Structure 1
Amino acid sequence: MLAILLEGDPAESGGRIDRSTGECRPAFTDELGPGPEAEEDDDPERWLYVPALGSRAGYRDMELFIEEVEDAALADRLRIAIGGRGAFRRFKDVLAGDKRAWSRYHRFGDERQRGRARAWLAEEGYCPRASPSS
């Protein structure tokens, strides 16, 4: 969830993390109005603001993935797909035709997103750790 908040549209997204539980809340949930926890929600010591940094890193993931695609025809179609507005949708549409490439891209992209989220937490002074059940 943190990765999703970080890669959202800077004009519309972002959110915060509950420092005590690690729960991530998108900014739009704050706009729904005060609930029963309103006093706790205003505690600046409890919450860490998460900025929305945009999709540039996600776009770079697509470029890097294309470099690893061994099928030259698929790589060419993917390069064409990422040109201009709507690049993410076209890229995914091309990948949808190849189940193996689709699966590989999702593993690749998910790992890169988690890495960026871990790096952001480290920059903020936090060290992610595995949950006790891991």
Structure 2
Amino acid sequence: MAEWDLDLIAQWMLTHDGEGYVDPDAGEVYGGGYGEVFDRDGDVLEEIPEAWVRIPHSTSHEDFAVMEDFAQLLTEPHLREQLERALEGRGPFRRFRDTVFSINGLGHLWLDYRQARVEREAAEWLIDEELVRPDQAAALRERVADALATTVLAVRRAGDRELAEVERLERELQEPFRRRDVDWLDRVLADDFEEVGASGRVWSRAETLRALAVEDDRVIGVRDLVVRRLGVDTALVRWLSDSEAGVAERSSVWRKERNGWRIVHHQGTARSAG
């Protein structure tokens, strides 16, 4: 199976000012505009090879449905309502674009979400056109589904101010200046907090505070952090830590109490080198 460039195919699906083609034999994507298609050297082709398959354009109905779905993902009511109003009446595409980019941080999430949606459509098109072997179709579908799921989580979190607050607290908890701040830790660590170390040992709140008091200023890298709700007043944070000790999978449970969000449970599991 050719290793298709889904990003490029998706771009041609979204572009209505030109035509894109795939070469099934070489696994390459070509395209151009104003009636001209260019080869890999940038020269205009005199004719399109018969074996090439034209990449379909997305329809206005499909594009509108993607905008509607994006608006529905937002959990913050006032943000969702702004986008839904933008989709009403004539000229919804420009109005939606102007609105989504006027909201701080939402524009780039919209572009990521739209790209992930169209890449999923590109994968299905490749499968339908039998440009992907049947035994590899499942892996391709799983890949684009995982990418879309990651983007969906980011959009939902962007519209949820409380989850944004939990993410901020989790990240601050990894900063040396916060790990030495006894008053801040006292507010953030729940009274029934416990931590399960990689060895399986359970650390109480008091033991954790004592350990942090003598900890050096080691830097803990945070990557692939994802926050999701477990309930109205509870949230789960999962991420990977990078430190001198290696890479570890981390998970924390946060609970909303009268004075704000507090961490109840944390667990770290070292990743094997293999």
Find the partner of 2:112 among 107, 113, 118: 107
Go from structure 1 to structure 2 and tell me whether the alpha carbon gap of 1:110 and 1:68 turns closer, same or farther (over 3 Å shift).
same
- The residue matched to 2:54 in structure 1 has which SS? strand
- The residue matched to 2:67 in structure 1 has which SS? helix
Q: Identical aligned pairs, as a percentage?
A: 22
Post-superposition offset of 1:13: 4.9
Could you say which structure has the higher helix fraction?
1
Q: Is the 8 A contact 1:3 1:117 kept in 2?
A: yes
Q: Equivalents in 2 of 1:118, 1:71: separation in Å?
A: 31
Q: Give the aligned partner of residue 121 of structure 2.
A: 116
Q: Is the 8 A contact 1:81 1:90 kept in 2?
A: yes
- The residue matched to 2:102 in structure 1 has which SS? coil
Query: Residues 23-57 of structure 1: CA distance to partner in whole angstroms, max 9, x if unpaired?
Result: 2314535279xx96646x44212x11223242322
Post-superposition offset of 1:112: 0.5
- Is 1:87 aligned to residue 127 of structure 2? no
- Is 1:25 aligned to residue 22 of structure 2? no
| Structure 1: gaps of 5 or more residues | none
- The residue matched to 1:83 in structure 2 has which SS? coil
Q: Is the 8 A contact 2:100 2:106 kept in 1?
A: yes
- Is 1:4 aligned to residue 42 of structure 2? no
Q: Which has the higher contact order (CA 8 A, sep 6+)?
A: 1
Return 90-99 or 16-25, whichever deviates more: 16-25
- The residue matched to 1:99 in structure 2 has which SS? coil
Q: Equivalents in 1 of 2:30, 2:78: separation in Å?
A: 40
Q: Equivalents in 1 of 2:50, 2:68: separation in Å?
A: 38
Post-superposition offset of 1:124: 0.5
Q: Is the 8 A contact 2:31 2:37 kept in 1?
A: no
Return 97-106 or 111-120, whichever deviates more: 97-106
Q: Equivalents in 1 of 2:23, 2:128: separation in Å?
A: 17
- Is 1:96 aligned to residue 110 of structure 2? no
- CA-atom RMSD in angstroms: 2.9
- Is 1:69 aligned to residue 74 of structure 2? yes
| Structure 2: gaps of 5 or more residues | 1-7, 144-274
Q: Give the aligned partner of residue 130 of structure 2.
A: 125
Query: Residues 60-119 of structure 1: CA distance to partner in whole angstroms, max 9, x if unpaired?
Result: 111111111122112111111112332121111111122322222222111101101111
Could you say which structure has the higher strand fraction?
2
Go from structure 1 to structure 2 and tell me whether the alpha carbon gap of 1:92 and 1:23 turns closer, same or farther (over 3 Å shift).
same
Q: Is the 8 A contact 1:5 1:26 kept in 2?
A: no
How many matched pairs? 124
Counterpart residue type for residue 71 of structure 2: I
Go from structure 1 to structure 2 and tell me whether the alpha carbon gap of 1:38 and 1:61 turns closer, same or farther (over 3 Å shift).
closer
Counterpart residue type for residue 28 of structure 2: G
Find the partner of 1:55 among 40, 55, 60: 60
Counterpart residue type for residue 3 of structure 1: A
Q: Equivalents in 2 of 1:74, 1:37: separation in Å?
A: 46
Q: Is the 8 A contact 2:20 2:29 kept in 1?
A: no
